[in-house]
């Protein structure tokens, strides 16, 4: 099989499940992560070591990590907001972590109870301890194309925060349109501006699909040279501290787009569609992936009638 041209970072078990109202069983989370890895996804963001008071849904982070079976070539990164989170993650066996901040002050304060500058300061000891433990750190910048509280976010702030994360040693910076308000030309211009400071090979894009623009935005960013895309099976997702943020772009839709462009992902799309259908059923919600729904319907129509 050819080497994937595009790396997909599956964020469903973290970004998707953090936003679910009803508690999801730890065993279901573990099963979801394993099924996603079975589909050929090599980075599956597993959980968050944030404060359980802030995100009760992911309070079982230790138990999730304990249930994961290591596989060659598959990583299970986790979110850490501070040194406490990193220590918990390391004790639980995490081998890759991600820190997160925002381009907008108003959002960052609601999400992490800190200014952007304070959150960057919190990351300094996290970077040092992670380096000591040999654990790579990814950096997220939220609200890169708009903020639910502040509205417009100046491009200069996005570039400054992304550059700061890169300068402190993040191996990759993921640019998040947290509330999915961006459109294609603005998304491309944002990536171009950041790529003038951070090599595009070290950038990822992370689109929520609130306004249905995510695939168009991804296509525009591929044209800018982006080769890492965050997405979530069945379009699960949203941030509890971002009013109006709905699901992430669905992994099935992204894979369908990429394969249609002739870009290898290493992902088995039919298997992924089945996984998206399964988790949607477990959560009692509609499947947020258009490609996933279409593929599942086609496969069901082709299945031999056993009645």
Judged by CB, which is closer to Mg ion: 15, or 253? Answer: 15
Q: Does 105 bind Mg ion (CB under 5 A)?
A: no
Residue pair 144/186 in contact (Cβ under 8 Å)? The answer is no
Whole-angstrom Cα distance, residue 229 to residue 56? 27
Residue 165 has phi, psi (to 5 degrees) of -65, -40
**Tokens standing for 273?**
């569609």
In angstroms, give the least distance from the CB of 35 to ligand HMG: 21
* Binding region for Mg ion (CB under 5 A) out of 7-15, 32-40, 89-97, 131-139: 7-15
Whole-angstrom Cα distance, residue 55 to residue 41? 25
Q: Report which of 136, 138, 99, 102 is spatially closest to residue 117, judged by C-alpha positions.
A: 102
Whole-angstrom Cα distance, residue 166 to residue 55? 27
Buried b (16+ CB within 10 A) or exposed e, 285-307: eebbbebbbebbeeeeeeeeeee
3-state secondary structure of 172: strand
Q: Name the site residues for ligand HMG (rule: CB under 6 A).
A: 15, 18, 48-51, 54-55, 79, 81-82, 84-85, 88, 100, 111-113, 140, 142, 176, 178, 206, 208, 239, 241
Judged by CB, which is closer to ligand HMG: 142, or 296? Answer: 142
Q: Does 10 bind Mg ion (CB under 5 A)?
A: no
Q: Does 15 bind Mg ion (CB under 5 A)?
A: yes
Q: Report which of 184, 188, 210, 212 is spatially closest to residue 200, judged by C-alpha positions.
A: 188
Residue 54 contact among Mg ion, ligand HMG, none, beta carbon within 5 to 8 Å by kind: ligand HMG
Residue pair 162/173 in contact (Cβ under 8 Å)? The answer is yes
β-pair partners for 175: 141, 205
Q: Does 177 bind Mg ion (CB under 5 A)?
A: no
Judged by CB, which is closer to ligand HMG: 107, or 256? Answer: 107
Residue 18 contact among ligand HMG, Mg ion, none, beta carbon within 5 to 8 Å by kind: ligand HMG
Q: Does 172 bind Mg ion (CB under 5 A)?
A: no
Q: Does 45 bind Mg ion (CB under 5 A)?
A: no
Residue 48 contact among Mg ion, ligand HMG, none, beta carbon within 5 to 8 Å by kind: ligand HMG
Judged by CB, which is closer to ligand HMG: 241, or 278? Answer: 241
The string of DSSP letters for 124-147 reads HHHHHHHHHHT--EEEEEE-SS-B
DSSP letter at 49 equals: -
Judged by CB, which is closer to Mg ion: 248, or 296? Answer: 248
Q: Give the count of residues interacting with Mg ion (CB under 5 A).
A: 1
Q: How many CB atoms lie within 10 A of CB 100?
A: 23
Residue nearest to Mg ion (CB): 15
Enumerate the active-site residues: 239
Judged by CB, which is closer to ligand HMG: 231, or 275? Answer: 231
In angstroms, give the least distance from the CB of 188 to ligand HMG: 18
In angstroms, give the least distance from the CB of 24 to ligand HMG: 16
In angstroms, give the least distance from the CB of 241 to ligand HMG: 5
Q: Does 209 bind Mg ion (CB under 5 A)?
A: no
Whole-angstrom Cα distance, residue 189 to residue 197? 13
Q: Kindly list the residues in this chain that would bind Mg ion in the complex (CB under 5 A).
A: 15
């Amino acid at each position: 099989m050819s080497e994937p041209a595009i790396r997909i970072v599956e964020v469903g078990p973290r970004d998707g499940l953090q936003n679910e109202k009803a508690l999801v069983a730890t065993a279901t989370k573990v099963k979801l992560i394993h099924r996603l890895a079975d589909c050929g996804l090599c980075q599956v963001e597993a959980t968050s070591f944030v404060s359980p008071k802030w995100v009760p849904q992911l309070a079982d982070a230790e138990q999730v990590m304990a249930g994961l079976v290591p596989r060659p070539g598959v990583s299970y990164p986790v979110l850490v907001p501070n040194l406490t989170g990193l220590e918990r993650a390391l004790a639980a066996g995490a081998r890759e972590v991600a820190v997160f901040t925002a381009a907008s002050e108003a959002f960052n304060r609601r999400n992490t109870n800190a200014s952007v500058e304070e959150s960057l300061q919190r990351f300094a000891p996290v970077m040092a301890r992670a380096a000591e433990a040999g654990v790579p750190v990814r950096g997220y910048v939220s609200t890169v194309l708009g903020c639910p509280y502040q509205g417009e976010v100046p491009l200069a702030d996005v570039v400054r925060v992304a550059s700061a994360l890169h300068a402190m040693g993040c191996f990759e910076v993921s640019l998040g349109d947290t509330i999915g308000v961006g459109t294609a030309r603005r998304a491309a211009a944002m990536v171009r501006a950041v790529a003038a400071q951070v090599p595009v090979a070290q950038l990822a894009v992370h689109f929520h699909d609130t306004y249905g623009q995510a695939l168009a935005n991804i296509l525009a960013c591929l044209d800018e040279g982006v080769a890492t895309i965050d997405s979530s099976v069945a379009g699960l997702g949203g941030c509890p501290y971002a009013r109006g943020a709905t699901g992430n772009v669905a992994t099935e839709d992204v894979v369908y787009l990429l394969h249609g462009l002739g870009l290898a992902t290493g992902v088995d799309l039919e298997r992924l569609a089945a996984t998206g259908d399964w988790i949607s059923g477990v959560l009692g919600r509609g499947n947020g992936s258009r490609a996933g729904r279409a593929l599942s319907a086609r496969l069901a129509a082709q299945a031999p009638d056993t009645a």
